Structure 1
Amino acid sequence: MKTRTFYLLAPFAFALVFSSCNDSSTETPSDENDNETKTEQKTESNSETETENKDKAIISLDEDGNQVITRVETKEDGTKVERTVPATAEELREIAEEGVLLKDETIPPVEIEIPEEKVVEAEDNYNFHEYKNLNSLLSTYVSSSGNVNYAGIKANKSKLDEILKEFESNYPGSGWSSAQKLTYWINAYNIYTIKLIVDNFPTSSITKITAKPWHKKFIQLGGQTYSLNQIENDVIRKRFNEPRIHFALNCASESCPILLNRAYTPGSVYGQMTTQTKRFLNDTSKNTYGKKEVQISQIFQWYEEDFTKGGKTVFDFINKYRTDQLDKQKITYKEYSWDLND
């Protein structure tokens, strides 16, 4: 995969040296003026040397589409070392303040969005985009295999209500980055699916709650009322053009991609989606691969257009995330189980 890169260099400092013209009407500079001129010239030279020794940073996309920053740092002994870290909001702000972006004209530019500081601050160390409370709930009540302890969440419903209030109070705005918006809507879909189950628990299936649970409008966000279907189709699929979201969203059923037992975060969301996609496609309980025939999830049937854009095939998408490549096997679809994922 070709890496898209911006090169970031610290801004140059220029020292301007002014000297008198050497004509017949100009007096010979005094020793004091001569010394000042030499000092200015030395300052200019030092400034240029200092600029050359400035640490550099490269902003690029890794193979999963995540922004990363590679810093080239100079040690005291003059040796240079590279350090690659996720391109967090703090790192991007720091770099934006340090220098100017120089684009490599041979490749398309990478869109770098620098989020605003904070949307809502309940206390000094509060940052909604870290999803600490959601992360705590998921790590407590969701197993590593994706089974959800709905009874436990219902017994501690005040914690769930607190998280829902955070989503209601923090609605995506123009200052949010694309990753922040995508993360918000994925987490919102999953936590409001949990709410729907908890509000109607015990139940053996989300389909037992109502005939069309995904069309039920019960989600109050940004002064609007959404259904799960609207969040998935009218917001996430329509705005982000990202097929991997189908393996990040959980519909509270056995045949769904498992619910991740931690929150999605802006700095990791693309890598998290890739991990979830690989896990789902290599799970033989979700997809069965034979030499002549493959039985794959109905997700690929329902949302085929998401996986076949740009002349691609469903096999092209699957092969991107599987070690054992598919060729020309016959495709059938596995029956979907709507049994609760508890």
Structure 2
Amino acid sequence: MSHSAEDEEPSTAATDPLAVSRALLVGVKRGESVEAERESLAAHSETALDALDDAERLAFWLNCYNAAAQLLVADRPALYESRRRFFAADALTVAGTALSLDDIEHGLLRGHSKYGLGYLPRVRPAAFERRHRVDSVDPRIHFALNCAAASCPAIAAYSTNVDAELDDATALYLDRTVEFDPDAGPFGRGVVRVPRVCLWFHGDFGGVAGVRALLRDHDLIGADDRPWVRYHGWDWTRRVGWFRDDET
């Protein structure tokens, strides 16, 4: 995936929310001051957010989440010792509304509860969330969101080309994490081990059948394979600043 725009100087005067979210993430990556971008996002009107189409909205909230997580762990590192507090803390203000990482991920990107393996709706979503959330959950977000844990995928800045960019992110993360042993397990069906997020958000993926379909789409299992699905553990060791350009 090419992110040539990341190498351009971000304009802090940008009024387009998606452009500002990208500039924020690029500034975080470079270790620069991002106060101008944070202030710009906070000052944006909700009308400006309304102008985003669904693909732009998806890219916008992905960028906001990844930038906010990096900033939160840098500004308040002690919070990371309590994941409940870390994900619930105010992390970024957008259009005058303070948002936590949970608000962005589960409210604006997923529209579902963080509990219940992806099958439960959000209870009493706020008006801001109802107005600005992505129309439907895209399971590929789980291969793009980075909460500063070692098991998280690497960070990239998303754009209007978010569909292709998410395909790329998904392929990279699955290639790094999926393990398939066609000879393991009962009845000769094999065993495939997949990332923990496929269990935590089972419903987002369409259950086991959906996980297998995703693996077939990425040629990680054969068209006729129906392996037993098992899940890797999750390494919560803090890892900050892991951007896609840092991969070798």
- TM-score w.r.t. the length of structure 2 is 0.69
CA distance in 2, matches of 1:187, 1:269: 11
Per the TM alignment, residue 329 of structure 1 is displaced from its structure 2 partner at its CA by 1.9
1:301 is matched with which residue? 199
Q: 1:210, CA displacement in angstroms?
A: 5.2
- What is the aligned counterpart of 2:19 among 107, 130, 150? 130
- Name the structure 1 match of 2:43: 169
TM value normalised by structure 1: 0.51
Q: Does 1:237 align with 2:110?
A: yes
Deviations 1:53-86 (A, max 9, x none): xxxxxxxxxxxxxxxxxxxxxxxxxxxxxxxxxx
SS at match of 2:158: coil
- How do 1:277-316 and structure 2 match up within 5 A? 277-283=170-176, 286-291=177-182, 292-308=190-206, 312-316=209-213
Kept in 2: contact 1:182–1:240 (CA 8 A): no
Alignment counterpart, residue 153 of structure 2, candidates 223, 234, 257: 257
Identity over aligned residues, as a percent? Answer: 21
Gaps of 5+ in 1: 1-120, 141-152
Partner of 2:218: 321
Does residue 224 of the first structure (1) align with residue 97 of the second (2)? yes
Q: Distance in 1 between matches of 2:80 and 2:179?
A: 25
Q: Which amino acid aligns with 2:51?
A: G
Shift of 1:180: 1.9
- Secondary structure of residue in 1 paired with 2:229: strand
Looking at secondary structure, tell me which structure has more helix per residue.
2
Q: Deviations over 1:250-278 (max 9, x none)?
A: 11111112212xx2112x11111110001
Q: Which has the higher strand share?
A: 1
Q: Deviations over 1:264-311 (max 9, x none)?
A: 112x1111111000111111xx232211222211100011101117x9
What is the identity, as a one-letter code, of the residue corresponding to 2:181?
G
Instruction: Kindly report the root-mean-square deviation, in angstroms, between the aligned alpha carbons of the 2 structures.
Output: 2.7
Question: Greater CA radius of gyration, 1 or 2?
Answer: 1
CA distance change for structure 1 residues 258 and 325 in 2, over 3 Å: closer, same or farther?
A: farther
Deviation at 1:128, TM superposition (A): 4.7
What secondary structure is seen at the aligned counterpart in 2 of 1:250? coil
Q: Which consecutive aligned stretches of 4+ in structure 1 deviate over 6 angstroms post-superposition?
A: none
In structure 1, the residue matched to 2:116 is none
Q: CA deviation at 1:224?
A: 2.2
Distance 1:258 1:187 in 2: 12
Deviation sequence 1:112-133 (CA, Å, 0-9, x none): xxxxxxxxx975x865533463
Aligned residue type for 1:184: F
Change in Cα spacing, 1:195 to 1:122, as seen in structure 2 (3 Å) is closer
CA distance in 2 between partners of 1:210 and 1:251 (Å): 10
CA distance in 2, matches of 1:251, 1:122: 25
Match for residue 86 of structure 2? 213
Indicate conservation of the 8 Å contact 2:25/2:63, yes or no: no
Contact 1:281/1:322 (8 A) holds in 2: no
Name the structure 2 match of 1:81.
none
Q: Per the alignment, do residues 303 and 122 of structure 1 end up closer, same or farther by CA in structure 2, a change over 3 Å counting? A: closer
Q: Secondary structure at the match of 2:152?
A: coil
Contact 1:190/1:249 (<8 A) preserved? yes
| Larger RCO (CA within 8 A; separation ≥ 6) | 2
- The 2-side partners of 1:331 and 1:301 are apart by 10
Partners of 2:28 and 2:34 within 8 A in 1 = no
Closer/same/farther in 2, CA of residues 324 and 168 from structure 1, 3 Å limit: same
Distance 1:181 1:298, change over 3 A: same
Q: What SS does structure 2 have at the residue aligned with 1:212?
A: helix
3-state DSSP of counterpart to 1:173: helix
Q: Distance in 1 between matches of 2:102 and 2:15?
A: 31
Aligned length: 196
What is residue 199 of structure 1 aligned with on the other side? Answer: 75
- Which residues of structure 2 form unaligned runs of 5+? 1-10, 112-134, 183-189, 241-248
